[in-house]
């Protein structure tokens, strides 16, 4: 799992049949020092995360397979909306939820 900040949405009219009705978001992984990773990723969201939200992302495809079926290509799923992150240096707000 890792923390990420939501940057926007993805609209896809053609997709794998198991992904029909899924909401896709663009996320930037948050590194341990609080900086954003270089590469954005696409995550599946069932929790309603908004732009600017900090989320907890699972990389375990079992969560997606349990909900979407064994043939789904989805792997990264939003599993939590983060209120705050506390480190030994400082606390950061989780952003919009």
pLDDT at position 34 = 87
Q: Which CATH number fits domain 2-88: 3.40.50.1000, 2.40.50.220, 3.60.10.10, 1.10.10.10?
A: 2.40.50.220
Q: Does residue 57 contact residue 3 with C-beta atoms inside 8 Å?
A: yes
Q: Does residue 58 contact residue 76 with C-beta atoms inside 8 Å?
A: yes
Percent of the chain with pLDDT over 90: 80
Stated pTM of the model: 0.84
Residue 89 has pLDDT above 70, yes or no: no
pLDDT at position 66 = 95
Q: Does residue 19 contact residue 74 with C-beta atoms inside 8 Å?
A: yes
**Which run of H or E residues covers position 67?**
helix 61-68
For Cα atoms 49, 22, 65, give the angle at the middle one, nearest 5 degrees.
Answer: 105
- Map out the domains of the chain as residue ranges: 2-88
Q: Can you state the percent helix, strand and coil of the chain, rounding each to 5? A: 10, 45, 45
């Amino acid at each position: 799992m890792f923390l990420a900040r939501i940057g926007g949405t993805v609209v896809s009219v053609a997709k794998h049949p198991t992904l029909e009705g899924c909401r896709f978001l663009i996320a930037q992984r948050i590194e341990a020092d609080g900086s954003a990773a270089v590469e954005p990723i696409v995550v599946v969201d069932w929790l309603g995360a908004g732009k600017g939200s900090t989320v907890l992302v699972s990389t375990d495809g079992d969560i997606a397979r349990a909900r979407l079926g064994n043939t789904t290509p989805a792997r990264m799923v939003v599993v939590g909306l983060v209120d705050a992150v506390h480190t030994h240096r400082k606390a950061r707000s989780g952003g919009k939820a």
